[in-house]
Structure 1
Amino acid sequence: MDRRPRYRFEQFSATRQILGMHPAPDGESLRFVSDISGQHNLWQVPSRGGWPRQLTLFTEEVVREALFTGDGSRIAFVADHRGDEKYQVYLMEAVGGWPEKITDRPEVQYELGCFSPCGRYLAFSGNAANPEDMDIYIYDLETRETRQLTSGGGVRYVFSFSPDGSRLLAQQFYDNTKQDLLLVDVASGEIRNLTAGKEQKAFFRPGPWLKDGSGFYFLTNDGREFQGIGYYDLAADRWSYAVTDDWDIELIALNGDQTLMAYTVNEAGNSVLRVVERESGRALPLPELSKGMVLRARFAENDRRNRLFLQITTYKEASNIYVLDLEAGTLTRVTESMLGNIPEEVFVAPELVYIDAHDGLRIPAWLYRPHGAGPDAKVPAVLSIHGGPEAQERPNYNYGFFFQYLLHHGVAILAPNIRGSTGFGLDYQKRIHRDWGGDDLKDIEACNRYLRSLDWVDGERIGVWGGSYGGFATLSALSRLPDLWACGCDLCGPANLITFLKSVPAHWRPAMKDWLGDVDEDRDFLIARSPITYVDQIKAPLMIVQGAMDPRVIKAESDQMVERLRALGREVEYLVFEDEGHGFTKRANLLKAFAAMADFLIRHLVRR
């Protein structure tokens, strides 16, 4: 008899999400977005630790991202309504302030940019002029006037002002693997494309400026499989790689006097932090970090103590904020996200495995083996497919608490990075382009076969679960590989690629042809790859969860799948959240949804 203590769903789910982190300019406090109040709001905590203070009091609006003026006196942030992703821009005083909305176009999506060095101007992007374009706007905090700086020309996101405030560093976005770097004159709006004319477009993401304005750092994979750090010399009008690695470099930060550079390397999903002297490249000794993911790494602009502020998550810890004191060599946790009083040894660490695909490709995957599983105690398993699809499964406290709760109930997890995932090179990532439901489905089949090969897994009790693209993959697996699954669970996944393409946000549409296909030119192909085409082949019980306000995968995608299954007399459970979008912004809804999905999987895999 298994006499190990049993812990409740409420304990695994007793976490507090921390979604973003910015140190105040002096480094003495940190602002972050969290659902501590039950809704995503803006909070502040001293960098030495302590109880956080709530800065916004929204109950229906959802705070997403925030930034601060150079003197720390004002905060700008974006928030949307019930997850509809129509972000509006707000301003407030950092101390005692109340949010003031400076954009009020409920049909428009704005994206936060940056404050000017003097603190008078705020730059941001939005599709107010044309739904398919993201233009750059400048708001004057003194006159309260907004000026459209650029007009037309596609999707542009603004990142930073030059140190003298005369230019903006921006990104021209074409798709997930193709961008350009732009310099925009603040006075005239004149645009200079710094990376135009390349036969093969590459990934470019702006990074920090040097204080003298002579150049800036950025991330790119131009001419390489993996992202490195480039430096653009404006006087010479050319750039070169400053740091490269055999894996993707993901984050860049410079300390206040710009003598140090911090960056992270994504080694098969695990973040490796490095801090080097910027000019010599000499590495500083660092305390060891637990395996997991560094979500943010920032220095405070005016902090003289060389403290690096980190946001970290691991398989046993939801996202928390840490302070790394580089002079003292200490790492101190500032926040506490784990509230369930569960001993650390209860959590299951993942193992990195590789699975052979049909064409010789090796699929990286994280395998979680429940405590006590063995040949004499075979367990069921869930194949979890991440969203994106250009994203990456990593060794985090995944989906809030979902993995570890299922593991505690004796359900193994296999979380692969099938082709199309990021982090394993450009070629691997682009293999999903215009091939949804093609070789990726064969990868899923290979993962199922791998699970069946393990002598401690019951091959007749394998379920499949995923959200967004992972939901599409789940529906594809259940409908086109119907004999492999005991059940499936789809969270807001597209069912019909034609109706999906017609309904995505307008500024996504220019990129969708190369990414997925064209509604008219590729109609037959899209029908052949849509799960709804094969709905009559679904045998396994299915649960579908959907937000009614989802702007990315609209509710009609799930509606049509549920209607067809019910007409066929198949077993399908449908859970709709009227006040949610693509995911969950209210803590009560998140708990209800994941409790229902966990119960569904346990019911069909453990208790059947």
Structure 2
Amino acid sequence: MIDLLELHSWTVFDVDEHGHVLAGSDASGSTQLVEIAPDGVRTQLTALPSACSGRYLPGRRTVVVQHDTDGDERAQLSLLNLEPDRPAPAGLDDLEPLVRDLAYIHSLVDVRPGRVVYSTNRRNGVDFDVVVRDLSNGSEQVVFDDGGYVAAVDVDGDAVAVTLLSLQPASTQVRLVRDGTFTDVTAADDHSMHTSVRFLPGTGSLVMSSNHGRDFRSVVRVDSSGTWTTLLESDEHDISVLPSPDGSRLLMFRHIDGGTELAIHRADGELETEIALPRFGVAAAMWSPDSALLAVGLNTPTSPGDVLLVDASNGEIRMLVDGTEQMTPQMRVALVEPDSVRIPTRDGELIPCFVYRPSDPAAELAGSVVVNIHGGPEAHAQRTFTAVSQAMVAAGHIVLVPNVRGSTGYGKRWYSLDDVYLRLESVLDLVDIRAWVPEAGGDPERVALYGGSYGGYMVLAGLSMHPGLWAAGAELVGMSSLVTFLENTSAYRRAVREREYGSLEHDHDFLVKASPLTYLAAIDTPLFVIHGANDPRVPLSESEQIKAALDAKGVPCELRVYDDEGHGLAKRANRLDAYPAALAFLAKHLAR
């Protein structure tokens, strides 16, 4: 277990025209910036108290660093000059403040020559404005201040494309701003997801991924007259897009059953070259400013992060970081690739699920099952490296990782099946999964629920609404009451969370019905709880109240609180404390 948790992960943030890759590595204990030269030489750039991310400034050996304080998600922006070479990684005092006000969020959304684009809620603490800062003189121009939760921004000259979370469940709206004039590219009440919204330079057109009028997202071009043209589509999976800076090529992402396939297409959508990734998992990518290179981060069930440099002209790959290089041969062999299955439900649906099976389980844990439920709910379990799941398998548990109804990645119809008053249908999926456990070789009397955030809510909902079915539960930063969660979550998140769960004003009775605390009298299952004290999404009070309630009932419940964490555990030292304890708890209650 400890060996698995000690593995460090890699992510990709940016690449410059010379092939330097700006990556993130948590080898030091939390995700810090590392520069990887084209020859593979690695230089750690930051040593900040908390995790950070960043982008190169085009044309300069300077990085814009985004950082917060102990997971509070109030992002601040600073500059790090890479010339001359630094003798040691930069601490917070070594950074040049760019945009800092610890009371508010300032999220980096784009970089341009001499300019930084960011979103901020400093105007009223709720709505996010988009600001362009000129680095030559420090002047700022607010290019969008019409309210809402900004999900993404792209800037092309004096035009700004803003993607907002709309008030429809799992939906976004795209708005175009030019010379102060707003144009709605998509309707505010369109129950559709529009992502990857980018300008095609020099054309006045947008390219984006959209499931408007269809089940799966296709790649479309929207010209200046508002005409939509489909460039690439599938009736079986979502496709997203990343255009090159010069607009000549489109990097297409095919999202297939929790994994990604990549290919480079011409601007008209015609295939140019496939990119043969070395493993099947989840890929993220960035173009170099000259459109010649792609930096790709690849995370798979058996690798915590490969970093690849791709020649865009022919798709040839150079591996800069092999995520398995840190593993012993024995660990590489022991890691498990999941099987993909579909679990039948009470009403004729099929739940996509990944099954991790132990090769040689210890006798006392043989047949034990842990159902690991993803967060979101507007998200899905993917084919990524999860140290906790692999550790569960190594201990001898069968691990089921379902995409219950409401999960994205399997079409609009599927992710809409838990909206508001359908919430408890997703909880019932857990009961169907338990009924299927013998098909995986598991013992239905020894099934535990595990999950974080919305997955934590699902753990608590399963234990409380369907008691007697579970041997144990373990959850991280989960909601014990949808009412108190919505009352106490950060103001800037409340409206967008209400679109999914229901509003305090109009749906209060249902929120009570869908809250685990409502069924407290039924909970008799031992519970392990993990929470960060600085969580701005799900307040610590959600875990404190379930702990207090179970203590009063005499139901075993252990709560571990980490004062320097937010929504999850970003620091390895805390993971090394919490996760082994959680695994020991599950082993105790799932043993024969």
Change in 2 beyond 3 A, CA 1:249/1:101: farther
Partner residue of 2:91?
Answer: none
**Which residue is equivalent to 2:219?**
229
Residue 404 (structure 1) aligns with: 390
SS in 2 for 1:406: helix
Q: Does 1:182 align with 2:175?
A: yes
In the aligned structure 2, how far is the partner of 1:91 from the partner of 1:281?
39
Instruction: Summarize the Cα distance change of 1:452–1:132 in structure 2 as closer, same or farther, 3 Å threshold.
Output: same
1:172 and 2:164 matched: yes
Query: 1:129: which partner in 2?
Result: 123
1:258 positional shift = 4.3
Q: 1:395 aligns with which of 383, 387, 398?
A: 383
For 2:408 and 2:521, the matched residues in 1 are separated by 33
Structure 1 residues 298 and 591, CA gap change in structure 2 (3 angstroms): same
**1:379 partnered with 2:375:** no
- CA gap of 1:452–1:483, structure 2 versus 1, over 3 A, is farther
- The 1:158/1:11 distance shift into structure 2, 3 A limit, reads closer
CA contact (8 A) 1:286 1:326 kept: no
Please state how far the C-alpha of 1:363 moved relative to its aligned partner: 0.6
CA distance in 2 between counterparts of 1:480 and 1:249 reads 33
**Secondary structure in structure 2 of the residue aligned to 1:508:** helix
Q: Deviations over 1:414-444 (max 9, x none)?
A: 1110000001111111222114751011101
1:353, 1:367 within 8 Å by CA — same for their partners in 2? yes
One-letter identity of the residue aligned with 2:29: G
Q: Distance in 1 between matches of 2:280 and 2:340?
A: 12
- Partners of 2:484 and 2:269 in 1: how far apart? 54
Give me the whole-angstrom Cα distance separating, in 1, the residues matched to 2:279 and 2:196. Answer: 28
Q: Following the alignment from structure 2 to structure 1, what is the Cα–Cα distance between the partners of residues 497 and 245? A: 41
Name which of 400, 413, 416 aligns with 1:414.
Answer: 400
Paired residue secondary structure (1:102): strand
Q: 1:358–1:446: 8 Å Cα contact kept in structure 2?
A: yes
Give the whole-Å Cα distance in 1 for the aligned partners of 2:196 and 2:269: 22
Residues 531-589 of structure 1 deviation map (CA, whole Å, 9 limit, x = unaligned): 11112222221101111111111000000000011111111111110110001222211
Q: Could you tell me how far apart the structure 2 residues matched to 1:522 and 1:75 are?
A: 46
TM-score after normalising by structure 2: 0.92
2:293 paired with 1:312: no
Secondary structure of the corresponding residue to residue 474 of structure 1: helix
Q: How many angstroms apart in 2 are the aligned matches of 1:252 and 1:603?
A: 46
- Answer whether contact 2:12 2:307 (CA < 8 A) is retained: no
> Among residues 484, 487, 495, which one is paired with 1:510 in the alignment?
495
More displaced stretch, 223-232 vs 41-50: 41-50
**2:462 matched to 1:477?**
yes
Structure 1 residues 503 and 377, CA gap change in structure 2 (3 angstroms):
closer
Give the share of equivalent positions with the same residue, in percent.
Answer: 25
Greater Cα shift, 483-492 or 282-291:
282-291
Deviation of 1:303 after TM superposition, in Å, equals 5.5
CA distance in 2, matches of 1:258, 1:48: 28
In structure 2, give the amino acid aligned to 1:44.
E
**Aligned 1:171-570 pairs, distance under 5 A:** 171-175=163-167, 177-185=170-178, 188-196=179-187, 200-234=190-224, 236-255=225-244, 258-279=247-268, 281-287=270-276, 289-294=278-283, 296-302=284-290, 304=292, 307-325=293-311, 330-338=316-324, 339-341=326-328, 342-372=330-360, 378-398=366-386, 401-435=387-421, 437-454=423-440, 456-570=441-555
Letter in 2 for 1:446: D
Q: Contact 1:134/1:157 (CA < 8 Å) preserved in 2?
A: no
Q: Distance in 2 between matches of 1:256 and 1:532?
A: 51
Maintained 8 Å contact 1:216/1:231: yes
1: CA distance, partners of 2:291 / 2:412: 37
Distance in 2 of aligned mates of 1:452 and 1:41: 43
Distance of aligned partners of 1:285 and 1:548 in 2 relative to their CA distance in 1, 3 Å threshold: closer
Q: Structure 2: any 5+ residue segments left out of the alignment?
A: 87-93
1:69 corresponding residue in structure 2:
57
User: Within the alignment, does 1:150 sit opposite 2:144 as a pair?
Assistant: yes
SS at match of 1:515: helix
Q: 487-496 or 326-335, which moves further after superposition?
A: 326-335
2:10 to 8, 18, 34: 18
Retained in 2: the 8 A contact 1:366–1:414? yes
Using the TM superposition, give the Cα deviation of residue 161 of structure 1 relative to its aligned residue in structure 2, in angstroms: 1.9
Q: Deviations over 1:354-401 (max 9, x none)?
A: 111111111110011110469999421101111001111112212xx1
Return closer, same or farther for 1:182/1:377 CA change in 2, 3 Å cut-off. Answer: closer
CA RMSD of aligned residues (A): 2.4
Letter in 2 for 1:281: E
Aligned-residue offset at 1:319: 1.8
Secondary structure of 2:446's aligned partner: strand
Q: Note the C-alpha offset of 1:453.
A: 4.1
Aligned 8 A contact 2:15 2:21 in 1: yes
Question: Cα offset for 1:462?
Answer: 1.0
The structural deviation recorded for 1:14 is 2.6
CA distance in structure 2 between the partners assigned to 1:350 and 1:489 by the alignment: 22
Q: Is the 8 A contact 1:249 1:263 kept in 2?
A: no
Separation in structure 2 between the aligned mates of residue 601 and residue 308 of structure 1, nearest angstrom: 42
Change (3 A) 1:373 1:92: closer
Q: Would you say 1:44 and 2:35 are equivalent positions?
A: yes
Letter in 2 for 1:28: G
The counterpart of 2:81, out of the listed 93, 99, 104, is 93
Of 24, 35, 60, which residue of structure 2 is paired with 1:33? 24
Q: 1:114 to 1:213 in 2, by over 3 A?
A: farther
Q: 1:46 to 1:557 in 2, by over 3 A?
A: same
Residues 500, 453 of structure 1: CA spacing in aligned structure 2 closer, same or farther, 3 A cutoff? same
Given that residues 132 and 509 in structure 1 are in contact (C-alpha distance below 8 angstroms), is that contact kept between their aligned partners in structure 2? no
Which structure 1 segments of 5+ residues have no match? Answer: 1-8
CA distance in structure 1 between the partners assigned to 2:443 and 2:269 by the alignment: 55
Kindly tell me the number of residue pairs found equivalent between the two proteins. 581
Conserved? CA contact 2:362–2:396, under 8 Å? no
Question: Do structure 1's residue 115 and structure 2's residue 101 form an aligned pair?
Answer: no
Paired letter, 1:246:
D
Question: In structure 1, what residue type is equivalent to 2:514?
Answer: R
Paired AA for residue 287 in structure 1: A
Q: Is the 8 A contact 1:466 1:489 kept in 2?
A: yes
CA contact (8 A) 1:501 1:519 kept: yes
Q: Which amino acid aligns with 1:148?
A: V
Contact kept, 8 Å, 1:319 with 1:337, in 2: the verdict is: yes
Cα displacement (A) at 1:182 = 2.2
Q: Secondary structure at the match of 1:438?
A: helix
Question: Residue 280 of structure 1: CA displacement?
Answer: 6.4
User: 1:78 corresponds to which residue?
Assistant: 66
Distance 2:163 2:364 in 1: 56
Contact 2:56 2:63 (C-alpha < 8 Å) held by counterparts: yes
Please tell me whether the aligned partners of residues 169 and 206 of structure 1 are also in contact (alpha carbons under 8 angstroms): no
User: 1:6 — aligned with what?
Assistant: none
**Which whole-Å deviations, capped at 9, do the CAs of 1:299-334 have from their partners, x for residues lacking one?**
312264xx4321111111112211234566643321
Range with bigger deviation, 137-146 or 313-322: 137-146
For residue 43 of structure 1, what is the amino acid of its counterpart? V
Amino acid at match of 2:22: R
